Amino acid sequence: MSRDGGGLRTRVKTARGRTAQSTRWLERQLNDPYVRRARAEGYRSRAAYKLIELDERFALIRGAKRVVDLGIAPGGWSQVIKRRLPKAAVVGIDLLPVDPIDGVTIFQMDFMDDAAPAKLIEALGGAPDLVLSDMAANTVGHPQTDALRTMALVETALAFACDVLEPGGTFVSKVFAGGADSQLVAEMKRNFTTVKHAKPPSSRKGSVEWFVVAQGFKGRRDEPA
């Protein structure tokens, strides 16, 4: 490992057993200001700043009392919620193990499991007013396939949100470049007052991720107007 440019940038030498790709990833991590900031401020990942920046633009978090964090690992988004809303009830779910977070109930299970939605709401103690989804399917290297698999997760997360959200609630989800497809956006517009796409500054320029923000849930269709 070495530094160039007057000590401003860390360069990583390719080591035995480390591929060129992993070396580039490590170098990028070491030189990423959001990674350094996350370490300094006690966040588990740079992803925390994506939610912070989305909140600054859309005021997502203010006043939320019950929050669901889909795809919680490693926990940065829930950390942001608990720091800003210490009294909010927060539940999260992920296939990956997640270290405990004070005040957050975490399930290690597949969100696609039929039992998952009921477990989340039972642990939350009532209907959420904010559903967050940072879920993305494991990539297989084929862009169209990867996009389709992730969009299937977005559709499932949206269906869950529309089943459980309090009227006036908010749904936020990661999507791929180009945003949610037109059919999915139309479904969101039927259920929410406003639907917008955003790419927060902390999302890497080369990343294909965007976020869709749906606010002002109109209420479940089986509810009286």
Taking only the tens place, the pLDDT of each residue in 142-194 is 666 666 777 889 999 999 999 999 999 999 999 876 556 788 999 999 999 99
Distance, in Å, from the CA atom of 119 to the CA atom of 93, rounded to the nearest integer, reads: 10
Q: Which one, of 100, 110, 103, 164, lies nearest residue 132 by Cα? A: 164
Q: How many Cβ atoms are within 10 Å of 107's Cβ, its own excluded?
A: 18
pLDDT of residue 27: 47
For residue 19, pLDDT beyond 60: yes
With 0-12 CB in 10 A as exposed, 13-18 as middle and 19+ as buried, what is 68? buried
Distance, in Å, from the CA atom of 53 to the CA atom of 71, rounded to the nearest integer, reads: 19
Cα 163 from chain centre = 19
Q: Which one, of 55, 98, 105, lies nearest residue 80 by Cα? A: 55
Q: Report which secondary-structure segment, H or E, holds 159.
A: helix 143-164
* Strand order through the sheet with 89-94: 104-108, 89-94, 66-70, 130-133, 170-176, 209-217, 192-198
pLDDT of residue 110: 94
* Virtual torsion, Cα 224, 67, 34, 158, nearest 10 deg: -40
| Confidence band for 98, pLDDT divided at 50, 70 and 90 | very high
Catalytic option among 65, 174, 189, 196: 174
pLDDT of residue 151: 85
Indicate if 174 belongs to the active site: yes
Q: Which one, of 121, 119, 123, lies nearest residue 104 by Cα? A: 123
State the DSSP code for 155. Answer: H
Residue 100, preceding peptide bond in cis (omega within 30° of 0) = no
